[in-house]
Structure 1
Amino acid sequence: MTTPARPANRHHRRPRGEGQWALGYREPLNKNEESKKNDDGLNVRQRIIDIYSKGGFDSIDPADLRGRMRWYGLYTQRRPGIDGGKTAVLEPEELDDRYFMMRVRIDGGRLNLAQLRAIAEISNLYGRGTADVTDRQNIQLHWIEIESVPDIWERLEAVGLSTTEACGDTPRVILGCPLAGIDTDEVLDGTPLIQEIYDKYIGDPAYSNLPRKFKTAVSGCPAHCTVHEINDVAFVGVVNEQGERGYDLWVGGGLSTNPMLAKRLGVFVTPEQVSAVWAGVIGIFRDYGYRRLRHRARLKFLVSDWGVEKFRQILETEYLGHALADGPGPELPRNGRRDHVGVFPQKDGNFYVGFAPRVGRLSGDALHLIADIAERHGSDRVHTTVEQKLVILDVAPDQVDSIVAELEANDLRVNPSTFRRQTMACTGIEFCKLAIVETKATGASLIDELERRLPDFKQPLTINLNGCPNSCARVQVADIGLKGQRVVNDAGEQVEGFQVHLGGSLGVNAGFGRKVRGLKTTAEELPDYVERVVRNFDKQRNEGETFSEWVQRADEADLK
């Protein structure tokens, strides 16, 4: 007797497509994808030059204003005076100011003095003196008017800088160690490869329509300063069993509201292969990345679903046309902190001097001052770090004491407190349309308070403030991560505050911070909260124990 066919189970329908081009889903599944299909973001440049800069803000097409202009590093600022509680309620046009944030991409963090001075000049001429160093080595300006943009581009391009693909669904700035080529312990210098990727692919329409943003790091830094664990693709310097120097490939890292650490593919990439492998990884993202839902459109979701074996197979067979050799993982990061703050020797007998502004906040005048100090001490290079710091390179031994004294005298700390050195903040509600709370001023005042209250505290401790859940300031991997939200104070009023993440870290024991149920603080009570937790740590820690290690074993009462 033949068994009858089972009826189709209505719960086992074919899953909806994720909008993956490689699987034939070419029709846009949301407004962002429709906008990109209608016109490549790179095409907005000519309209800015020919139409919008001449016709003013009101002449800008809304699809360009809130979409394609990001392909050239431009976002509208938040209109002043809008309460954080209204961030998610108001329409984009109600949040828009008539001014722009402009992001200048600084690939590898490398600036010469002509470039630094050009940014300083633009800041003072067109940006009301604003200049913030980001945790992706860029410099952001504010208060930019559309009429000024063509002149700004001319000034930047005259010194070899650009804003091309600094934002948008594009390959954004490529992170690199600011000490590349000079660090006495580096595995290899990634600078030529960063330049090769930039020259070949940045501004190429073949890679200008991605499902979402795409973040890259290339580095042979022994301190692992480019946070390879949280990039979409990262090339980490290694030495294989034959003594050859090359790169270990990591893919699928990212934070935001659904954080994931990058995964090793287990391959050895020679320097000659890097740009082709990079193009293969970003090609997979372009073709197989999820385009249906914006919140699932980062590469990390594809890597998580596929696994590293399938990802490697697709990379080798469909994009490279050859197998990659197996390779070793990176050595443990060099002892110390990842930020390159302080005075250290270079390979050539000179010294580099790293210093800490307050939460990355600078100004046009400060950039001019830094350039002048560097020049007076024989340097033509000032590089940015991924920790919102700067490094002056090539300082002769007999100039070190003088440059340190001059930087310190101008509140650019070469020997900062732990709190000055390791507190980081995103843009916050001052300018960002996504933000719920203020961050820069809150972070700066927190530093002052903690230095006053805990002058003898010397242990490493990262404190990261973010104005919204998107984690631009990397709250999940900070010792104390502070995610901005509205909270209720003792008087029952809704005020600015933070959800607290504790004990996140990258490096040896990479992992995300612990969330203690209901652990929040108002912005006003933040210094009291941090002081209390830091004192508990200092009192209870074992010899050599880090803050993140202590958090894993601490009683909840000591974390509140």
Structure 2
Amino acid sequence: MYRYDQYDHQIVKERVAQYTSQVERRLSGELSEDEFRPLRLQNGLYYQRHAYMLRVAVPYGLLSSKQVRMFAHIAREHDRGYGHFTTRQNIQFNWIKLEETPEILGKLASVEMHAIQTSGNCVRNTTSDPFAGVAEDEIVDPRPYCEIIRQWSTFHPEFAFLPRKFKIAVNGAKEDRAAIMVHDIGLSIVKNEQGEVGFRVLVGGGMGRTPILGSEIRAFLPWQHLMSYIEAILRVYNQYGRRDNMYKARIKILVKALGIEEFARQVEAEWQDLKDGPATLTEEELARVAAHFTAPAYETLPATDAGFEQTLAGNKAFANWVRRNVRGHKVPGYKAVVLSLKKTGVPPGDATAEQLDFVADIADRYSFGEVRVTHEQNLVLADVRLSDLVKLWEEIKAQGLATPNIGLLTDMICCPGGDFCALANAKSIPIAGDIAERFDNLDFQHDIGELELNISGCINSCGHHHVGHIGILGVDKDGSEWYQVSIGGAQGNESSIGKIIGPSFSAHQMPEVIDRILQVYLRERNEDERFIDTARRIGVTPFKEFVYATPIKIVHPAGEDAYA
């Protein structure tokens, strides 16, 4: 994985020193909160409902075991014993004391990490495929390009104050596992008929108040021109993106207003002044960065293992885990393993300090000291020997990391919501917990099959509810928390935006609403048909009719019966 060079070390060290001075001035009263706010946001520090929250950048979701141990230390010494992994492959600490933040950033710097540009109107953390480098369907490893984008965008003076935050995702496989369709810029590595490497370029995707799928402006961009073309896109956006209304400031609004043809024309015109200039990538530069992402010391192993096959045949629990949580690998004798952070009773994406230390230990013993973060808020060990899977499974079960639910109903994406976030209209975590408890039957979940349920506490869509097969959005209704439900969203190669089924529901109604939606699916599905396939085939109407057909009985905490 990438290691800091002298420039990285210097800029992060100097940023910590600069921020330390800013905090001292704030604590002494020399800086007001209004003056301090943009300074702390540049370092990933938010003030939420109860405390400061620090968001730490995890570039393209890749971590060393040493860095994971530092997360455990920060959770234990500076937070309340846990961290929260996000849909941008970052980690957040929700109970941070302002006076301790310079020390925390110093500790992060000691393991080559920072919180720079995890907030603000700038280029945010670039995300990618958590199985990059090992996926069987990979065309080209996207991580070197992600790292080049990181180096280029960090402290880029021209793009430090964009009209709004800006997000880039890069995918290098046939299957899109980076959700490129819902990013400001989505990049997919492709090869042309001559076998040359390039990028399919999408712009204007995003969720929030105006969910839009990205539009293609280049079917094939030679890899050498990647950075100059991204710069051209950002220049057009920086010049013409709206700054008078933050709700209409994202690039998707500009693309929609201009039309994709005119936007592409302006980008191409801007690019002519940049093409073949200093930003052009060379073979030498790509090789320099790619050298950090060479394959680990794989052993020559058989493609099968007798102990694995025996346990697979005789242990249903192990077989279910392998089916849901184990992925193929391009090297024979190895597998990629997803560690579920979605055990019932635990907020989705949360990991305790003890679990983080444990993950670091098993990464060292089973996966070359490396951990990946998924944008579905789980963790990945990318390089596990097939012969070690049984032993690994037994160990992670004891730590609550082996729930065999990846891609199933209880593998929910969920933002922190109203329990923490000052922007949220409603709580998300209790809704996720109630639904998980209602359907905490793995046999039932396996029968339902692949189902993505995403929950956001507000329209900002940090829980990606727009692209959930079932999406739940918290809304404010006369000062009360209610929930709007959509159906038919999806990420990946066949991305789509979900459609709202009707009026919102109270928190207490939500488990029954999901139950009714599932009843329609079970009644209407064809053999081997996934939920999303059925939803697309029959449309929203049958779900809507059944959900609203009869009053939904609920029980209030006080005990009295009530009806919708």
Which TM-score applies when normalising by structure 1? 0.80
Offset of residue 486 of structure 1: 4.1
1:204 matched to 2:156: yes
- 1:504-519 superposed matches below 5 A: 504-518=489-503
394 and 59 in structure 1: CA distance in 2 versus 1, 3 angstrom threshold:
farther
Give the counterpart of 1:343 among 306, 326, 329.
326
Alignment length (residue pairs)? 479
208 and 485 in structure 1: CA distance in 2 versus 1, 3 angstrom threshold:
same
Cα shift readout 1:367-409 (whole Å, capped 9, x = no counterpart)? 1121122223253111001111110122122212111222233
Q: Give 1:498's aligned amino acid.
A: Y
Secondary structure at 2:75 match in 1: helix
> Where does residue 172 of structure 1 map in the other structure?
124
After alignment, is 158-167 or 367-376 more displaced? 367-376
1:376 matched to 2:365: yes
Give the counterpart of 1:390 among 379, 383, 398.
379
- 1:54-453 superposed matches below 5 A: 56=27, 60-79=31-50, 99-321=51-273, 342-349=325-332, 350-358=334-342, 359-413=348-402, 415-416=404-405, 419=408, 422-452=411-441
> Where does residue 475 of structure 2 map in the other structure?
485
1:48 matched to 2:19: yes
Offset of residue 44 of structure 1: 8.8
164 and 418 in structure 1: CA distance in 2 versus 1, 3 angstrom threshold:
closer
44 and 237 in structure 1: CA distance in 2 versus 1, 3 angstrom threshold:
closer
223 and 413 in structure 1: CA distance in 2 versus 1, 3 angstrom threshold:
farther
The 8 Å contact of residues 481 and 501 in structure 1, kept in 2 or not, is answered as yes
Cα shift readout 1:132-175 (whole Å, capped 9, x = no counterpart)? 11011001111111211111111111211111000110100101
Cα shift readout 1:418-467 (whole Å, capped 9, x = no counterpart)? 54653111111111001122212331332122124945533211111111
Secondary structure at 1:411 match in 2: coil
> Where does residue 452 of structure 2 map in the other structure?
462
Offset of residue 323 of structure 1: 7.6
Q: Give 1:342's aligned amino acid.
A: N
Distance 2:407 2:271 in 1: 45
RMSD value, Cα: 2.5
135 and 400 in structure 1: CA distance in 2 versus 1, 3 angstrom threshold:
same
305 and 54 in structure 1: CA distance in 2 versus 1, 3 angstrom threshold:
closer
Q: Give 1:532's aligned amino acid.
A: R
* Structure richer in helix, relative to its length: 2
Distance 1:486 1:316 in 2: 43
> Where does residue 534 of structure 2 map in the other structure?
550
Secondary structure at 1:457 match in 2: helix
Distance 2:409 2:540 in 1: 27
> Where does residue 561 of structure 2 map in the other structure?
none
The 8 Å contact of residues 277 and 320 in structure 1, kept in 2 or not, is answered as no
Distance 1:455 1:234 in 2: 32
> Where does residue 553 of structure 2 map in the other structure?
none
Offset of residue 224 of structure 1: 0.5
Offset of residue 267 of structure 1: 3.4
Distance 1:323 1:205 in 2: 20
> Where does residue 9 of structure 1 map in the other structure?
none
After alignment, is 550-559 or 236-245 more displaced? 550-559
Q: Give 1:312's aligned amino acid.
A: A
Give the counterpart of 2:510 among 509, 512, 526.
526
Q: Which runs of 5+ in 2 are unaligned?
A: 1-13, 277-322, 343-347, 549-564
Distance 2:15 2:65 in 1: 30
Secondary structure at 1:451 match in 2: coil
Offset of residue 232 of structure 1: 0.2
Q: Give 2:240's aligned amino acid.
A: Y
The 8 Å contact of residues 487 and 521 in structure 1, kept in 2 or not, is answered as no
Cα shift readout 1:473-493 (whole Å, capped 9, x = no counterpart)? 1112111111112458xxxxx
Distance 2:126 2:388 in 1: 32
The 8 Å contact of residues 404 and 414 in structure 1, kept in 2 or not, is answered as no
57 and 319 in structure 1: CA distance in 2 versus 1, 3 angstrom threshold:
farther
Distance 1:153 1:322 in 2: 36
Offset of residue 271 of structure 1: 2.4
Q: Give 1:523's aligned amino acid.
A: A
Which TM-score applies when normalising by structure 2? 0.80
The 8 Å contact of residues 75 and 353 in structure 2, kept in 1 or not, is answered as yes
The 8 Å contact of residues 235 and 248 in structure 1, kept in 2 or not, is answered as yes
Offset of residue 496 of structure 1: 3.0
Q: Give 1:304's aligned amino acid.
A: K
Q: Give 2:233's aligned amino acid.
A: V
199 and 533 in structure 1: CA distance in 2 versus 1, 3 angstrom threshold:
same
The 8 Å contact of residues 44 and 117 in structure 2, kept in 1 or not, is answered as yes
456 and 109 in structure 1: CA distance in 2 versus 1, 3 angstrom threshold:
closer
Q: Which runs of 5+ in 1 are unaligned?
A: 1-42, 80-98, 325-339, 489-493
Secondary structure at 1:218 match in 2: strand
Q: Give 1:155's aligned amino acid.
A: K
Distance 1:281 1:107 in 2: 22
Sequence identity percentage: 27
Q: Give 1:105's aligned amino acid.
A: A
74 and 322 in structure 1: CA distance in 2 versus 1, 3 angstrom threshold:
closer
Offset of residue 310 of structure 1: 2.2
After alignment, is 47-56 or 390-399 more displaced? 47-56
Distance 2:446 2:152 in 1: 50
Distance 2:460 2:252 in 1: 15
The 8 Å contact of residues 478 and 504 in structure 1, kept in 2 or not, is answered as yes
Cα shift readout 1:489-509 (whole Å, capped 9, x = no counterpart)? xxxxx7533111122223454
The 8 Å contact of residues 237 and 246 in structure 1, kept in 2 or not, is answered as yes
- 1:20-39 superposed matches below 5 A: none
Distance 1:357 1:427 in 2: 14
Distance 1:363 1:351 in 2: 25
183 and 517 in structure 1: CA distance in 2 versus 1, 3 angstrom threshold:
closer
Secondary structure at 1:254 match in 2: coil
Distance 2:99 2:337 in 1: 38
548 and 456 in structure 1: CA distance in 2 versus 1, 3 angstrom threshold:
closer
The 8 Å contact of residues 317 and 323 in structure 1, kept in 2 or not, is answered as no
Distance 2:341 2:409 in 1: 8
Distance 2:266 2:179 in 1: 25
